[in-house]
């Protein structure tokens, strides 16, 4: 093996694998080493005969080997001579190897043996895996489905959780260190490699460099790691956020023209959300949110551990439902601009005056059955009692137009109170469709909206009233389930809200309301509904599943 290459521009030492100087970005001369590996065919440590090269990285070379006397194949990683030359590295190697060998999670590559060869080279003997790494998998199968993405990353998080509990931070999570193999039942099994190895080259008080090369991979390096600060498990969470970003968008979140430029972008550049980076891939909003939280530059704003991020991914998959089985890039209504639909506008000042309501119902937009939405009523604006619209709506003379288009997946605003003021959002189900003042309900029942309701027997706004309204609870609950199965989430939420007000102690209503909010991406509302469900049904058969969902956010 050849030693470090010296940069002709600044004199910094670089590993032989790199083509650009890690210090100044200048091009490096080609490695003069030949293609012959002198260790192939040799017996090391009196136990392992090296048969072929499996891969090479910044720390060393990984060989396939036969273990003498057992007819058993293993992988042996032999560290580069220049890496192991530092006495501190030797001491760290034995300490870290002992710690890593204690890891036994099924999603972690097992370390069987470690030590020093006859020539003084440091080595690790590990289980040999037959399968691609995540980089190869993405090159072949991209884009993956959300369920496959989530399943792979959840297994990585399982391995991280055990390691973090043992005080081990990986520090170099990247696609090449995540192997994807098949178990005996043909299911994908993730194996995380190289736990603890990157830490061997960590100088005291610095996580970036020793003898002139970068510890970690710039594309997946947390800002605090780039600054040389002491690291904790949240650095691995950031790296996993980079992995998720790559799986959702097809690109890494930051990519400069050199390693140093990439590190600088992690430190200084704001993150472009996955949905904005590649809008053509229609990244689900709920996975976009998980990714952004993992990639917060401030560790305090990230997921605080592997279990927390795993719970968020499980929640996201549950919320996506059947959509989780469609590859990233498949358009869905949640990710498409809403189609133009009719708007029903009422001067907001007349919400208070129910007696005048029958003369002031105004219709804008194209014909069709409106889906009622309660608008905020204050300051003489127009209260929206029809669905959000992708286009603009002209206001009647002397009035104001509605604030503009709204994404179909956004929570809906709450209505004003009976006194004409602005009501506060419900702390229990923030963002869900609220009850509408009696004045609007009375007006709507005498307007054309009453005859255009999707539910013929009820006016669209009156269907959101409490138990004294025209909607009886069983029909509201059943209608909500029908709309949920038809993927009309806004309609389902509206009906389940009506059912909730009619029978506030019925557990099944809160369960279905939680499912609808979760699939719509309203995580806080889903959490509130599910918590109430468990309070009302403490012995529910699915209690364990719901509790796992709640643990995630």
Q: Which residues are catalytic?
A: 172
3-state secondary structure string across 4-47: CEECCCCCCEECCCCCECCCCCCECCCCCCCCCCCCCCCEECCC
**HSE-up of 66 (CA within 13 Å, CB side)?**
10
Region for residue 328 given its phi and psi (left: phi exceeds 0; alpha: psi -120 to 50; beta: otherwise):
beta
Separation of alpha carbons 306 and 312, rounded Å:
10
**HSE-up of 553 (CA within 13 Å, CB side)?**
24
Asked if 246 contacts 144 with a C-beta cutoff of 8 angstroms, the reply is: no
- The dihedral through the CA atoms of 166, 169, 172, 178 has a sign that is positive
**Helical segments of 227-337, H only:** 234-249, 259-268, 274-277, 285-294, 306-320
Answer whether the bond into residue 320 is a cis peptide, omega within 30°. Answer: no
Strand partners, 345: 362, 384
Asked if 345 contacts 362 with a C-beta cutoff of 8 angstroms, the reply is: yes
Strand partners, 209: 214
Residue corresponding to tokens 């691609």: 132
Spell out a b/e string for 368-393, using b for 16 or more CB atoms within 10 Å of the CB, else e.
ebbbbbbbbbbeebbbbbbbbbeeeb
Helix (H) or strand (E) holding 111: strand 111-116
Separation of alpha carbons 527 and 213, rounded Å:
46
**Helical segments of 454-522, H only:** 473-485, 489-502, 507-520
């Amino acid at each position: 093996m050849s030693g470090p290459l010296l940069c002709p521009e600044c004199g910094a030492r670089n590993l032989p694998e790199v083509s650009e100087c890690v210090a100044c970005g200048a091009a490096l001369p080609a490695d003069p080493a030949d293609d012959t590996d002198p260790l192939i065919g040799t017996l090391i440590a009196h136990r392992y005969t090296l048969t072929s090269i499996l891969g090479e990285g910044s720390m060393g070379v990984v060989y396939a080997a036969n273990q003498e006397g057992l007819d058993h194949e293993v992988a042996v990683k032999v560290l580069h001579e220049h890496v192991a030359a530092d006495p501190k590295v030797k001491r760290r190697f034995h300490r870290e190897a002992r710690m890593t060998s204690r890891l036994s999670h099924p999603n972690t590559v097992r370390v069987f043996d470690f030590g020093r060869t006859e020539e003084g080279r440091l080595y690790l003997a590990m289980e040999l895996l037959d399968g691609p790494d995540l980089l190869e998998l993405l090159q072949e199968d991209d884009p993956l489905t959300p369920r496959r993405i989530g399943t792979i990353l959840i297994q990585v998080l399982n391995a991280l959780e055990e390691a973090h509990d043992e005080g081990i931070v990986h520090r170099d999570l990247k696609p090449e260190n995540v192997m994807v193999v098949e178990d005996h039942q043909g299911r994908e099994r993730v194996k995380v490699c190289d736990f603890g190895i990157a830490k061997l080259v960590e100088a005291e008080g610095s996580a970036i460099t020793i003898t002139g090369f970068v510890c970690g991979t710039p594309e997946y390096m947390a800002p605090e790691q780039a600054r040389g600060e002491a690291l904790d498990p949240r650095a691995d969470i950031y790296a996993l956020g980079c992995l998720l970003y790559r799986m959702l968008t097809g690109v890494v979140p930051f990519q400069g023209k050199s390693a140093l430029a990439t590190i600088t972008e992690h430190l200084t550049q704001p993150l472009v959300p996955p949905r904005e980076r590649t809008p053509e891939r229609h990244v689900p909003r709920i996975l976009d949110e998980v990714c952004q939280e993992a990639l917060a530059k401030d560790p305090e704003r990230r997921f605080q551990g592997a279990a927390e991020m795993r719970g968020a991914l499980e929640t996201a998959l549950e919320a996506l439902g059947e959509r989780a089985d469609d590859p990233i890039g498949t358009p869905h209504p949640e990710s498409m601009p809403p189609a133009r639909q009719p708007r029903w506008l009422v001067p907001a000042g007349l919400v208070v005056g129910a007696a005048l309501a029958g003369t002031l119902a105004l219709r804008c937009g194209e014909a069709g059955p409106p889906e009622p939405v309660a608008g905020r009523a204050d300051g003489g604006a127009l209260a929206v009692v029809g669905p959000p619209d992708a286009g603009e709506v002209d206001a009647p003379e002397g009035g104001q137009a509605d604030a503009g288009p709204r994404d179909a997946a956004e929570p809906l605003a709450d209505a004003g109170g009976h006194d004409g003021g602005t009501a506060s959002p419900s702390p229990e189900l923030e963002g869900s469709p609220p009850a509408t003042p009696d004045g609007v309900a009375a007006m709507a029942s005498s307007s054309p909206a009453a005859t255009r309701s999707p539910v013929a027997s009820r006016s669209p706004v009156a269907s959101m009233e409490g138990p004294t309204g025209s909607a009886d609870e069983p029909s509201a609950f059943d209608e909500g389930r029908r709309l949920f199965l038809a993927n009309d989430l806004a309609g389902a939420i509206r009906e389940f809200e009506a059912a909730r007000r009619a029978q506030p102690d019925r557990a099944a209503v809160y369960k279905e309301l939680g499912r609808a909010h979760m699939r719509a991406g309203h995580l806080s509302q889903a959490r509130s509904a599910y918590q109430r469900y468990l309070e009302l049904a403490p012995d529910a058969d699915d209690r364990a599943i719901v509790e796992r969902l709640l643990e995630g956010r």
